[in-house]
């Protein structure tokens, strides 16, 4: 019996010749469905004509999805599109028995011998569904600079910004920039909806940009510290499970007068 928690049916009206039914690119498939990442979409009809390559009814699978295909889908799949970072393992018979075929990221139209043969399958991605159910938190990270000299002093720091995916997400393995970007979009949504304006840091997570959730980069950040003052370079850090988000907003705060706040000057390092 099909596991409907893992597989959702969508009927696509592409049986009429005037309707364009090209296969979607892997990145055009949804990123998520509910609390799981989207994995693959199967179609019950295919064609050599590009504009009719994926047509008829469609069946969607999410990350860690599995199914033994009952009618009408048993022995009916003719085309498959697999999202980046995911793999669809199909079997000739029900209950994952018989010959098998691994379909990796991409468009698999006209499956040759496998067209109309598939009876069960597994769909898995190289990343887990953990980011979609984590509880976001944030805190301040401060770096000190004290000026005991005469006159103003420039304190320069090397600071990282961006998202570091936790091992619970990647199982300790690296993921492609395409996959990282799609995960980042979802984690951004988790922070935006879960924290909004943080009660801990007063940081407005609903106004963050994609840079906060992209590949980690290093910046050179400068604070001007007056003579005899002790200053802090403050950065807001977010955590969701073991995934860390280092934001791109910095502030220079006078330790003796915390209300004296200035925006830090930040530049990308070469």
Reported as a single tens digit per residue, the pLDDT across 33-56 is 999 999 999 999 999 898 899 999
Q: How far apart are CA 64 and CA 3, in angstroms?
A: 11
CA-nearest of 118, 136, 134, 37 to 80 is: 118
Hey, what are 176's tokens? 């492609």
Ranges of residues in the chain with a pLDDT under 50 are: 1-13, 15-18, 268-270
Say how many C-beta atoms besides its own lie within 10 A of residue 225's C-beta: 22
Alpha helices in the chain, H assignment, sequence order = 167-170, 177-194
- Assigned architecture for domain 7-125: Sandwich (2.60)
Measured torsion, CA atoms of residues 148, 150, 154, 158, in degrees rounded to the nearest 10: -30
Do the Cβ atoms of 233 and 145 come closer than 8 Å? Answer: yes
Task: Report domain extents, the chain.
Answer: 7-125, 131-268
End-to-end CA, the chain: 56
pLDDT of residue 257: 74
Burial class for 228, CB neighbours closer than 10 Å (0-12, 13-18, 19+): exposed
Peptide bond preceding 72: is omega within 30 degrees of 0, i.e. cis?
yes
Predicted structure pTM score: 0.84
Structural tokens at position 62: 């999410």
Our measurement of the distance from residue 138's CA atom to the centroid of its chain's CA atoms, rounded to an integer in Å, reads 19
């Amino acid at each position: 019996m099909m596991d409907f928690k893992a597989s959702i049916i969508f009927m696509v009206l592409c049986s009429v010749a005037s309707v364009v039914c090209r296969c979607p690119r892997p990145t055009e498939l949804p990123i998520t469905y509910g609390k799981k990442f989207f994995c693959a979409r199967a179609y019950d009809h295919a064609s050599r004509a590009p504009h009719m390559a994926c047509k008829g009814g469609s069946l969607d699978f999410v990350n860690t999805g599995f199914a033994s295909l009952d009618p009408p889908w048993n022995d009916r799949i003719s085309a498959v599109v697999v999202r980046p970072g995911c793999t669809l393992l199909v079997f000739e018979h029900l209950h994952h028995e018989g010959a098998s075929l691994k379909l990796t990221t991409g468009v698999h139209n006209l499956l040759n011998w496998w067209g109309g043969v598939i009876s069960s399958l597994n769909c898995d991605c190289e990343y887990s569904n953990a980011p979609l159910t984590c509880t976001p938190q944030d805190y301040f990270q401060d770096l000190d600079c004290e000026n005991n000299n005469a006159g103003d002093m420039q304190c320069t720091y090397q600071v990282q910004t961006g998202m570091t995916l936790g091992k619970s997400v990647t199982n300790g393995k690296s993921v492609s920039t395409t996959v990282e970007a799609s995960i980042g979009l979802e984690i951004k949504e988790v922070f935006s909806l879960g924290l909004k304006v943080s009660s801990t840091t007063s940081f407005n997570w609903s106004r963050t940009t994609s840079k906060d959730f992209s590949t980690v980069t290093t910046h050179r950040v400068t604070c001007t510290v007056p003579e005899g003052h002790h200053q802090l370079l403050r950065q807001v850090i977010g955590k969701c499970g073991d995934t860390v988000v280092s934001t791109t907003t910095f502030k220079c705060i006078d330790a003796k007068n915390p209300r004296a706040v200035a925006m830090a000057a930040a530049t990308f390092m070469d």
